[in-house]
Structure 1
Amino acid sequence: MAPTNSKKQDGLKPFIRLIRSTGIPKAAFGVGIAGFLITTIVGLAIPLLTKQLVDGFSLATLSPMLIAAIVAAFLIQTVIDGISTYLLSYTGQKLVADLRGKMWRKLLRLPVSHFDAETSGGTVSRVINDTGIVKELISNHVPQFISGIISIIGAVVLLLILDWQMTLVMLISIPVTMALMIPLGRRMAKISRGMQDETAAFSGSIQQTISEIRLMKASNAEEDEEKRGTGGIHRLFDFGLREARINAIIGPLMGLIMWVVIAFIIVYGGMRVADGSMSTGTLVAFLLYLFQIVFPVTTFAMFFTQLQKAKGATERIIQILCLEPEPGQNGANVDVSGLPIIVEDVSFSYQPEEPILKNISFRANQGEMIAFAGPSGGGKSTMFALLERFYEPDSGVIRVGDTPIAALSLDNWRSQIGYVPQESAMMSGTIRDNLLYGLEQDKISEEKIRQASDMAFASEFIKSFPSGLDTEIGERGIRLSGGQRQRIAIARAFLRNPKILMMDEATASLDSHSERIVQEALQRLMAGRTTFAIAHRLSTIVDADRIIFIEDGRVTGTGTHQELLDSHPVYREYAGQQLI
């Protein structure tokens, strides 16, 4: 709780620091603000010019110079206002682009554990919606607030000069207006922040449902998802109504105050004009200046509401930017060719007091195939995650040769690993995009792509598509069969030319024909490489150099298939069930 309180005490400091940390175009912002100030000052001159025109109005005394000055003032105001609006919009767009770029770079380098705890929809909302709130404040509300302050001060000064008595009476409306607007603005800020949080949660729910649309339909879960989505919609609707109720108070209330003041000025000013103590032009100027005071005051409530929203958005943006990236971004570069992979006394848990792996030790020499077998939930996939460095062990060490992998650069370590999962992940795009994903594409020739496709037995089905390598495969590769996706994953691994190969039972979900083709492609890929394999079916690992049997997070047996058959009762039972 302490950090949260500290942030609240800081007020605008975090927001200002965040803005200063971006590449905000100071020249464009400065010129835009200066332009708004100029238009405000020019706008203050218009009522004075109008006063002179009205007071001296007659066809005989009509001054062309005065009319030209009024027209020029309007034209100058219009042109400068347009330029300023563009420059400030540019500033806001540049600011939000820099913020989103910083957040995106940070998110890509956060550890997997962060995404285990955060919903993807909430994260997307932070990158899109929260930065958009900051942009709106900088582009629109800050300039309006600054020009409004100048307009009010200038108008009040000029009104005091024109007629101080009527000005003092008129100024009573300002504290009355502020007294009504400030509590409403605070209430609006609270509602707006609640809506931001609800929008993030709703975005996450929708994104999850759409990404798993086939599971939803296959499970006949339309009504459940409809209820959940409708609940989110109704909560957003409720927040919207609460905002609407406050706006319904603010608008008419400000209109009432403005018309009361206008009516008073007209009546009182008309009496002054009738008795000769005020000119008609002065009364007209009073009314024009009144609008230059009242309208900025009405925008102040929205400014402070947006400011509170921006402060809330800033807290969430800073929370992401302050997160620690994956360790080892700047480690050493080591060629692992010929070096053994050694796991020494490694333990790991996702949650405290809930150990997943307990004192795991083994050694994989160069070119060996090491297979992990055992009951589901025993820790096999977690061991893979530690080897990939998605997580760091709670204790123990994983070394390549004499070097802990924690001392290696992540880019260097992962560039030497090829991973073929049980369900091959595909990115939306073309077959070519997926083959070259994560590689320096300009360094991969068409011939290398063809050779990798041939080695993975993927060339035949790729050529069967009219667009070949440029065939769009849809989100998560939905337009390809499971066997085709697996062969693209294997071809991708060939292109990476990894020193270490990791396979999570890459044929478990395939039909017998696809399994035979993929298994043959995997045999080609494994040749000469240190290979780790997770086995759900023992038939795929009977030829492994060493099988490590893991139960309840512990290694309970190590050896070849035959050695474990002779010495490990549980493995013998597994083999008896699967290999008969």
Structure 2
Amino acid sequence: MTERHDGTATDKERASDVNVPPIDDPESTDASSFTGLYRFATRPQKCVIIIGAIIALICGALQPLNHLLFGDLTQIIIEYSEACLNPNSTNCSVAGDNLSAGIKHFGIWSSINGVAIMITGYLATEAFSYNAIKQVFRVRSLYLQKLLNKDISWFDVHNSGDFSSRMADDLSKFEDGIGEKVPLFLTLQGSFISAITLALVKGWELALICLISLPVSFIAVGLIAYLTTQFSKKELDAYAEAGSIAEEVITSIRTVIGFGGEKLETQRYEKNLIFAKDNNIRRHFFEGIGYGMLWLCIFSSYGLAFWNGIKLMLDGNPVYTPGNMLTIFFSVMAGSMSFGSASPFIEAFATAKAAGRNIFHMIETSPIINQSKNNGAKLAQVRGNIKLQNVKFQYPSRKDVPVLQGIDLEIQAGDTVALVGRSGCGKSTLLQLGVVSQEPVLFGTTIAENIKYGNRDATELDIVQAAKMANAHRFIKGLPGGYHTLVGERGAQLSGGQKQRIAIARALVRNPAILLLDEATSALDTNSEAKVCFQLRASEHRTTIIVAHRLSTIRGANKIVVISDGKVVEQGTHEDLMELKNEYYALVTTQVHSSEQFENIGEANEKKIFDSVEDDDEDFAPKRVNLVRMIKVAEINHEALKETDEESEVDNYVKTASLWSIVKLNSPEWLSLFLGCFGAAVMGTVLPIFAVLLGSILQVLQDSDKNYVRQETNKYILYFVLAGVLAMFATFLQLYMFGRAGENLTLRMRSRMFDALLKQEKRYFDRNENGVGSLCAKLSNEAAQVQGATGQRIGAIVNSLATLILSVFFAVYYEWRLGLVAMVFVPLIIVATFIQKKQMSQESDDYKESLEKSTKIAVEAVGSIRTVVSLGCEKTFFKLYISELMPHIKKCPRNTHARAFILGFSRAIIFAFSACLVYGGYLIKHENVQYGDVFKVAQALIMGTVSIANSLAFTPNFEKGLVAARTVMNMINRIPKVSNSQNALIKNTADGNVNYSQIHFSYPTRDSIEVLKGLDLSVLQGKTVALVGPSGCGKSTIIHLLERFYDPASGTVSLDEDDIKSITLASLRSHLGIVSQEPNLFSRSIAENIAYGDNSRHSTDSEIIEAARKANIHNFITQLPEGYNTKLGEKGTQLSGGQKQRIAIARALIRHPKVLLLDEATSALDAESEKVVQDALDNAKQGRTCLTIAHRLTTIQDADLICVVNNGVIVEQGAHTDLIERNGLYYRLYARQHYFL
């Protein structure tokens, strides 16, 4: 038998290929420092990072050397112009020779420098990009590993619901802050240091004047970085809370849509999104002001520097020649611009630090019980003797509520011991390492793989044998995929009884010395329970501890222990305790109060009843599909998966998202976008205008009239200040308006995605690729990534285009021939950008798929942590998680090489600058072109090309945004398969008549198995109809169809003679109230959970209390310190199964439904609570139609009609006494169940 996960590669094969990174506790590093972000890098990675940082600084340091070469060449050009413009000069020929030599010198050395910049840029980018991917892989691995090794008490007081948000959103921002942006930032800082040093060496007086604004710039940038960090932390916390809500809602999607909670959940989700949006808009406001002021300071300092520089030159200072002055000025200008251009990088680093702090804190918190350590004694052999002595316990989240109050209990090896008592008395607490629980958790893989989680070394024969012992083999073989059938997330494709039998098989395949069963048969039909109990009793040399409310399960135990209020009050055999006539006797007599007609069934009938088990199996067994005998199981399963994938492709098909399609999504913010584009365009024109101003000043310098030079210089200096003012307002508009538009878009996308999800039909969530983890990853990551293709990224594009367009215009206007030479390099940059775009698009798709699959596994493991820990499967899930990430990691070297080369190439813009000046020198010498015009054209075009090169740094964000936009639009635009018809009726009132006519139905994920085969059923107003039958026969499906979780393939379901397809979903479900077999409660207060039953209005406190009284839960609630305000924790984990079920009953009763649906509503209650709740339900049924499913047949004896469902049809129906007299299937079920009582 081949083990599969998700129907693809085997778990064993994939896990064995994984090189799990060595994960040790890292050295303590300050998480708030930037270097702290690399705390989880390995020593070799740290060495590469340090070398990469040095290379990046060298790359930046090389760039100002061109200013030195440019200053020298400029001086030669000015001397040539002065010599040749004077008709009486005899030095023109010599100056011409010097010009030729200077051009050659400049061309050679600037080319060499360009090659060096390209190589160092490539190496630095490669070092950081690849190591960032490896480190994030390690942090992801460590994060999950540490989380899986946390003690269970940690999960009681922490919300693991935000886990998917942390894994997707936080780690994505963390990766963004430690990758290729770091070498780009270091290159800018290297350029800054080198440029300032060169300026000081060439002329310290002028350099210091130029640097007068530097302290202000440092303070401004530091303050902005601090504010950004604080705002980012609040943003991440808000999004994490939203992610927690999303996970809780998607996990409990049936409950949410069943009780009409879609609007309420959307509002609750949006509340956190709105907080994050407002917080980020404030951040963008302060950034706009800060960076706007920074540019004003920079341009003002330029004006001051030129004024002083020209003054020094005109005063005759020999140091300050035009060439030296330009070298100093351009060095300071380049340094200042490098410093000013760091703003997007600082924002990314601040966000990464905020994200890293959240992740690192969780990783470094030591658990109370460290499951990863091998401390403690290891027993060579476990015999099964257990002793508890004066055990006291309270849950960490409710330390003031004692659960166990001095338990003393001794269990001998090989004994079967049963724990009984009222709900919440502490039985399950004793079994917190239990293997088979009341609400069994299965994982989203195959049946065989789920069973094998109990023992990773189990063979095919072991798995089949365990399934037979759990009475699961027959129904498994009846499935088209057999043991290879995918069960869906948390076993959603199976009935409660089928899930419980697989969970029992999973426990039995371990062949444990100690078997712990916590209400392990509560969801089984009588036939299955009888067979499982018989098999368990037959097992020798095994210590078995059973928690049960259904006393049939434990009658034959060696010892029965009665627990009350956290203490042992009675213990002995069934016969001994019955003779005492105390607690146990009261429980038993309460449960068998209505079974007098079978009192004479005794030991003589035991063999007869057990012999009938096999016969009844034939009656209840589904007919075998002939196809199973003809085709290999694996092939059938492959075809089923293929069909699912094809449907997925249809649903997910959206034409490639374009920038325009994303802008249209942002259309409500058209004014913000317009103002942002205006600001970006203005800012884009500033640099080319600045280049023209510089060229004009240089042209003025050749004039011999000092007064004219001073007058013109003052005019241009005023233009510099005006350009600074323009840049200030433009920067504010760009950062604030685009930030505002981007945040509103993110809010809208997240909200619309979540709203669209809640409108999808149940089959959408059944599909393998739409697991909770996968959908939560999309919600938290995709909408945020869309900002990578809008907001500031659009600003960068508009900025670059404006710079390029104006630069080309100036080139054509001042000297078109020189412009053509510079333009040769623009296509190269564009081609490089296109290649990178294509590569990044494919890489983003691969990464997205890898991230979704891995997050799905991680969320499933963390969401079912108790099951994972009890099975000892932490390492198994960890390896599965790693194996899903590995395909992306293996492709990374190729992708990072190409990316690093393109970025390195973009850094070598000096080639274009060199070509412009070399050709410009030729034009000056041979075509009498003004060197001022040469400078204007060269500098303007270079600035335009550099602007495009800088925008390449954000290409990954842009491509990820386009890929994410495709997913977002697909989710938003998907039309639900179950929705309101065009003229749907709003049914405000209902009588409660329900009718099923010729219903045929198959679940979409297993459409080859027909669950209902022409079922007919009428439920009259005010009547109670009970459905009984084996697990998986279709009972719960009947209820699901009435709630329109699914639509039948054929046939009609009607309410009051109205086809439910013609009724709006909201009004249909408003008349239905359901209590499920596995109740889903939310991480809110008890009062809020009860009030959730009716989301159409505000329930008063008196209504909530009255509903709780009817469900027999009021007294328990009032004993809690916070009463009805007590928080239940995730999935209601702070309560026992019986307590959860009673709150679920109260939730249904507060709805005042016309039709009450009870799917094993009392399965988790003790006998006393069951009687009281049953009385409450009987009262609640008055005047209501009730459709109930039960395996405890004593609870439905008084039903107006009992229907026995088998193989998708009703085979018997009638009142209880009528069915007993027929001696049919119902009689045998009832007789067997009463015997076990």
Q: What TM-score do the two structures reach when normalised by structure 1?
A: 0.90
**Matched residue, 1:395:** 1050
One-letter code of the match for 1:42? Answer: V
Contact map agreement 2:789 2:962 (CA 8 A) in 1: no
Report the alpha carbon displacement of residue 267 of structure 1 after superposing the two structures with TM: 5.2
One-letter code of the match for 2:1135? Answer: L
Q: Residue 985 of structure 2: SS of its match in structure 1?
A: coil
One-letter code of the match for 1:49? Answer: L
> Size of the alignment, in residue pairs?
578
Residues 1:22 and 1:82: Cα distance change in structure 2 (over 3 Å) = closer
Contact map agreement 1:490 1:525 (CA 8 A) in 2: no
Residues 1:232 and 1:46: Cα distance change in structure 2 (over 3 Å) = same
Structure 1 segment 10-89 matched on structure 2, within 5 A: 16=660, 19-20=663-664, 24-57=668-701, 61-62=709-710, 63-89=713-739
User: What whole-Å deviation, never above 9, does each CA across 1:138-160 have from its counterpart, x for those lacking one?
Assistant: 21333322332221121122123
Contact map agreement 2:907 2:949 (CA 8 A) in 1: no
Q: 1:239 & 1:438 partners in 2: Cα distance? A: 50
Report the alpha carbon displacement of residue 385 of structure 1 after superposing the two structures with TM: 0.6
Residues 1:432 and 1:240: Cα distance change in structure 2 (over 3 Å) = farther
One-letter code of the match for 1:100? Answer: R
Q: 1:84 & 1:543 partners in 2: Cα distance? A: 73
**Matched residue, 2:946:** 295
Report the alpha carbon displacement of residue 461 of structure 1 after superposing the two structures with TM: 2.0
Report the alpha carbon displacement of residue 281 of structure 1 after superposing the two structures with TM: 4.7
**Matched residue, 2:871:** 219
The range that moved more, 155-164 or 25-34, is 155-164
Contact map agreement 1:137 1:307 (CA 8 A) in 2: yes
**Matched residue, 2:1233:** 578
Structure 1 segment 500-511 matched on structure 2, within 5 A: 500-511=1155-1166
Q: What value does the CA root-mean-square deviation take over the aligned residues?
A: 3.1
User: What whole-Å deviation, never above 9, does each CA across 1:477-504 have from its counterpart, x for those lacking one?
Assistant: 1112222212211221221111111111
**Matched residue, 2:557:** none
The range that moved more, 400-409 or 413-422, is 400-409
User: What whole-Å deviation, never above 9, does each CA across 1:157-216 have from its counterpart, x for those lacking one?
Assistant: 212333333332232222333344433331222111211222222222222222111111
Q: 2:937 & 2:762 partners in 1: Cα distance? A: 64
One-letter code of the match for 2:949? Answer: T
Residues 1:455 and 1:180: Cα distance change in structure 2 (over 3 Å) = closer
Q: Residue 1150 of structure 2: SS of its match in structure 1?
A: helix
Residues 1:438 and 1:369: Cα distance change in structure 2 (over 3 Å) = closer
The range that moved more, 236-245 or 87-96, is 236-245
Q: 2:1130 & 2:898 partners in 1: Cα distance? A: 43
Q: 1:211 & 1:204 partners in 2: Cα distance? A: 10
**Matched residue, 1:323:** 974
One-letter code of the match for 1:446? Answer: D
**Matched residue, 1:128:** 780
Q: Residue 818 of structure 2: SS of its match in structure 1?
A: helix
* Alignment of 1:408 onto 2:1063: yes
**Matched residue, 1:486:** 1141
Q: 2:1134 & 2:654 partners in 1: Cα distance? A: 54
Q: 1:393 & 1:276 partners in 2: Cα distance? A: 85
User: What whole-Å deviation, never above 9, does each CA across 1:87-136 have from its counterpart, x for those lacking one?
Assistant: 11211222232233322222211111111112223323333333333322
The range that moved more, 146-155 or 440-449, is 440-449
Report the alpha carbon displacement of residue 235 of structure 1 after superposing the two structures with TM: 3.6
One-letter code of the match for 2:689? Answer: A
**Matched residue, 1:341:** 994
Q: 2:992 & 2:1155 partners in 1: Cα distance? A: 10
Q: 1:102 aligns with which of 743, 752, 765?
A: 752
Report the alpha carbon displacement of residue 369 of structure 1 after superposing the two structures with TM: 1.6
Residues 1:482 and 1:339: Cα distance change in structure 2 (over 3 Å) = closer
Residues 1:402 and 1:147: Cα distance change in structure 2 (over 3 Å) = same
Q: 1:126 & 1:355 partners in 2: Cα distance? A: 33
User: What whole-Å deviation, never above 9, does each CA across 1:324-373 have from its counterpart, x for those lacking one?
Assistant: 23333663244665442222221111143321001111222222221111
Residues 1:55 and 1:534: Cα distance change in structure 2 (over 3 Å) = same
Q: 1:579 & 1:373 partners in 2: Cα distance? A: 15
Q: 1:335 & 1:162 partners in 2: Cα distance? A: 77
Residues 1:68 and 1:238: Cα distance change in structure 2 (over 3 Å) = farther
* Alignment of 1:554 onto 2:1209: yes
Q: What TM-score do the two structures reach when normalised by structure 2?
A: 0.44
Contact map agreement 1:348 1:356 (CA 8 A) in 2: yes
**Matched residue, 2:1014:** 359
Q: 1:266 & 1:519 partners in 2: Cα distance? A: 94
Q: Residue 110 of structure 1: SS of its match in structure 2?
A: coil
**Matched residue, 1:386:** 1041
Residues 1:3 and 1:559: Cα distance change in structure 2 (over 3 Å) = closer
Structure 1 segment 408-447 matched on structure 2, within 5 A: 408-437=1063-1092, 439-440=1094-1095, 443-447=1098-1102
Residues 1:97 and 1:438: Cα distance change in structure 2 (over 3 Å) = farther
**Matched residue, 1:146:** 798
**Matched residue, 2:1127:** 472
Residues 1:286 and 1:335: Cα distance change in structure 2 (over 3 Å) = closer
User: What whole-Å deviation, never above 9, does each CA across 1:50-79 have from its counterpart, x for those lacking one?
Assistant: 222333349863333321211220231122
User: What whole-Å deviation, never above 9, does each CA across 1:272-315 have from its counterpart, x for those lacking one?
Assistant: 77899566655554553243222233256567766654454343
Which sections of structure 1, spanning at least 5 residues, go unmatched?
none
Q: Residue 790 of structure 2: SS of its match in structure 1?
A: helix
Report the alpha carbon displacement of residue 438 of structure 1 after superposing the two structures with TM: 5.5
Q: Residue 25 of structure 1: SS of its match in structure 2?
A: helix
Contact map agreement 2:1085 2:1126 (CA 8 A) in 1: yes
Q: 1:8 & 1:377 partners in 2: Cα distance? A: 35
One-letter code of the match for 1:289? Answer: A
User: What whole-Å deviation, never above 9, does each CA across 1:30-69 have from its counterpart, x for those lacking one?
Assistant: 1111121122223321111122233334986333332121
The range that moved more, 315-324 or 542-551, is 315-324
Larger radius of gyration: 2
Q: Residue 480 of structure 1: SS of its match in structure 2?
A: coil
* Alignment of 1:262 onto 2:906: no
The range that moved more, 421-430 or 283-292, is 283-292
Report the alpha carbon displacement of residue 84 of structure 1 after superposing the two structures with TM: 1.8
Q: 2:1194 & 2:649 partners in 1: Cα distance? A: 55
The range that moved more, 267-276 or 131-140, is 267-276
**Matched residue, 1:169:** 821
**Matched residue, 1:114:** 764
